[in-house]
Structure 1
């Protein structure tokens, strides 16, 4: 087990200090036994990575009626964690907004977890046009109520992100401080392309990386048996074909493919936090090894060794992913 605590980074301008690792809830807590869930929660807290992204999956393409958020709440209580012992990031969906208001969504999702408030929320995803001023204003209203303190966006069009920051600043409201984007060894364009890259470079936003392992493919599960994230750009076959090269590079560094993937994401200067799913304690322990790999090899060398794995470089970086 790792003796050193997971390091922290600032989650954007004015944002909180957060551990660089966070545990997600989509298809995770409902794939393990209650005892295993408790053990994972306890170990995350022990390692200094008690940051949990938890959503109620009941809208749009995620209308799954999943119990993963309920199970998370049960695991945290069974593990003996007090609310102040961990960071909680919720989700506000735009699929049925504003018909289903943020206030109503929070009332349901927080009740399902069994808490009164979150620390942060992520607002997304969407198709078509969105009313950015209304979103920022409604988010601010929930912050005023004490339901959470800060927020980020999930795979937004870059012009909408800029509009949200500008409107919030003009109105004296809380702007988004981080962007949760699909980012990893093979999907880099959204995070490293010029539009988001400009905001990252000047410190206007921090990056929270998600879908790092492509639904488990880059962890060796080449034919995932569960629902995984969208295949933006239709490159999934190429990702599967690239996995042996991921294995080769990782082995050359005396590391696992998952450690390589996480170390790569942490090598991006804007990355404040990496969100991953883990359904077994062994997976979490393996992931912790990415920190030692990054220290031992260094970010520049990791990026050089993996430069040929960028598979979506041909895609436009401005679309909602």
Structure 2
């Protein structure tokens, strides 16, 4: 598995990362462990865990059960803790009653992990000064509770501001920005303001939502597939993704690849991208996604240009 540097952090991570959003609590534990084992076999060593509210109506706690289950399936997998980079998130949802250190403590307790390697910050509430956000995260880094930090879905001006504040405080700048990035959603990553902010912070992109909710895999093409986007395909805003999915199917057939692999290869073709975050509920999905790295390696300049033309 190809690895790239996660910004200036000194962390080298696999170019395919495995997320946990709405995943492990919805499938049997042994299936979750099988997914992780397939990721390990494929060379994926960047995992993400996140606390979110229960959406199944069956969890024993209203929020954070996702972390509990992640910890269970991780311990049941073949991964050793020291062979994988695990990222978590600060949501600031219970601030000011709960600061960053307390939120991290609660996440570690639920997962059963003794530390996280990387911390993302969700956009903080408007009443929480960015100076305080940076200071609290800086204290976690100084205490050795994580090695580096990044942001999730911040606008470019806020990322640039965080970088300026971090330098003024003597805190490491955010080294990664997790942002939606796909053939049909490029502006957030490729816009000049974000390019400049990333460069100023010496940060990389962690590409998310690269398959446009699964539409770009082509699984909805015949209208038979079930999934979270099945009821939304008639919405006009998804028309570009539907059209791109058809073009991807045609190009994938020519290359002996899958549409999903091509869609992931697009995100990886951007040198600012360190890794692409994927979800999977079956081991076969992990293997298919992991093959995107090999696909990218065999695409020449002309083929990449043709790929970038889809959905442009």
TM-score class normalised by the smaller sequence: 0.7 to 0.9
Shift of 1:110: 1.2
Shift of 1:192: 0.6
Shift of 1:227: 7.8
Counterpart position of 2:118: 120
Counterpart position of 2:47: 52
Shift of 1:100: 3.0
Distance 1:14 1:216 in 2: 31
Gaps of 5+ in 2: 55-60
Shift of 1:299: 5.4
Does 1:15 pair with 2:10? yes
Shift of 1:125: 3.4
Counterpart position of 2:187: 189
1:37-186 map, 5 Å: 37-58=32-53, 65=63, 67-125=65-123, 128=126, 131-186=129-184
Distance 1:125 1:116 in 2: 25
Shift of 1:7: 1.4
Does 1:31 pair with 2:33? no
Shift of 1:79: 1.7
Q: CA 1:52 to 1:299, structure 2 compared with 1: closer, same or farther past 3 Å?
A: farther
Distance 1:122 1:299 in 2: 33
Distance 1:246 1:129 in 2: 44
Q: CA 1:140 to 1:308, structure 2 compared with 1: closer, same or farther past 3 Å?
A: same
2:248 aligned counterpart, secondary structure: helix
Q: CA 1:215 to 1:82, structure 2 compared with 1: closer, same or farther past 3 Å?
A: same
Asked if the contact 1:249–1:306 (Cα under 8 Å) also holds between the matched residues in 2, the reply is: no
Q: CA 1:303 to 1:131, structure 2 compared with 1: closer, same or farther past 3 Å?
A: farther
Distance 1:267 1:180 in 2: 16
Does 1:257 pair with 2:259? yes
Asked if the contact 2:248–2:310 (Cα under 8 Å) also holds between the matched residues in 1, the reply is: no
Number of residue pairs matched?
300
Distance 2:102 2:213 in 1: 30
Distance 1:240 1:69 in 2: 33
Among 296, 299, 305, the alignment partner of 1:297 is: 299
1:54-103 per-position Cα deviation (integer Å, ceiling 9, x unaligned): 001139xxx97363322221111112433212111000014443443212
Does 1:206 pair with 2:201? no
